[in-house]
């Protein structure tokens, strides 16, 4: 007599179901990890870009050391590049002066540092590129014919102040208020 007892084996079906759930969890975890890594990378790139922009804004500036009366129409500017600045060409340093014309209007004069020599104060010859850590002197012509005049003589005569802005291309802006209380050559402009 043969014993034909068949036993049902349900263990294999449970194992296949568990394997399917396990693979699905691994796929979900991989997708979630990819999203987190991609988001972290984008945030890092944005932070790096913002940091670079901030560095350019803060270090790409001109520090005004002093301003003197050069003559009736010109100021003599003593300056240096801000700490950490890259060497900057004279055409990349722009200046503008705005002032009250004494009659209720505004006068505006602008130019770049290539308009006159940039003389290092260490006695070397004039340069066309300013180096960080070196002090320089240059002359700013603050008079354009009779139409716009923010020169020392006009400020002194009209008893008005002017604002001097210095912009570095790709960098920051510096400004100072010019008040001429004495228009003689060499007088300090405060």
> Which CATH number covers residue 155?
2.60.40.10
Query: What band does 1 get if pLDDT is binned at 50, 70 and 90?
Result: low
Residue 23 scores a pLDDT above 90: yes
The residues that bridge with 112 in the sheet, in sequence order, are: 94
Place of tokens 């007892």: 5
Q: What are 1's two structure tokens? A: 């007599």
Residue 75 scores a pLDDT above 70: yes
Place of tokens 């960080």: 132
Q: What is the pLDDT of residue 164?
A: 95
Strands (E), the chain: 62-69, 74-81, 88-89, 93-100, 106-112, 119-120, 129-130, 135-141, 143-144, 148-149, 161-168, 173-179
Q: Are residues 70 and 155 in the same domain?
A: yes
Mean pLDDT of 86-107: 87
Q: How many structural domains does the chain have?
A: 2
CA distance 76 to 95: 13
- For residue 34, give its domain range: 9-59
CB-CB contact of 134 with 69 (8 Å): no
Q: What is the pLDDT of residue 13?
A: 66
Torsion angle, alpha carbons of 155, 156, 158, 160, to 10: 50
137: left (phi over 0), alpha (psi -120 to 50) or beta: beta
Q: Are residues 16 and 104 in the same domain?
A: no
Out of 51-60, 73-82, 163-172, least confident range: 51-60
Q: What is the pLDDT of residue 30?
A: 95
Residue 190 lies in a domain: no
Q: What is the pTM of this model?
A: 0.70
Residue 156 lies in a domain: yes
Q: What is the Cα 146 distance to its own chain's centre?
A: 34
CA distance 112 to 169: 11
Residue 106 lies in a domain: yes
Q: Are residues 77 and 148 in the same domain?
A: yes
CA distance 114 to 129: 10
CB-CB contact of 39 with 161 (8 Å): no
């Amino acid at each position: 007599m043969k014993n034909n007892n068949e036993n049902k084996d349900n263990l294999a079906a449970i194992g296949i179901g568990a394997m399917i759930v396990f693979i699905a969890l691994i796929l979900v975890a991989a997708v979630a990890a990819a999203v987190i890594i991609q988001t972290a990378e984008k945030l890092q790139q944005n932070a790096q870009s913002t940091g670079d922009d901030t560095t350019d804004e803060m270090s790409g500036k001109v520090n005004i050391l002093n301003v003197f009366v050069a003559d009736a129409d010109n100021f003599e500017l003593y300056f240096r590049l801000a700490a950490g600045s890259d060497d900057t060409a004279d055409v990349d340093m722009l200046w503008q002066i705005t002032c009250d014309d004494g009659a209720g209007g505004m006068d505006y004069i602008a130019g770049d540092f290539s308009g006159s020599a940039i003389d290092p104060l260490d006695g070397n010859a004039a340069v066309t590129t300013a180096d960080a850590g070196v002090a320089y002197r240059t002359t700013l012509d603050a008079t354009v014919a009779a139409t716009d005049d923010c020169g020392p003589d006009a400020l002194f005569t009209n008893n008005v102040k002017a604002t001097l802005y210095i912009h570095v291309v790709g960098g920051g802006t510096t400004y100072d208020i010019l008040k001429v209380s004495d228009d003689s050559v060499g007088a300090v402009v405060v």
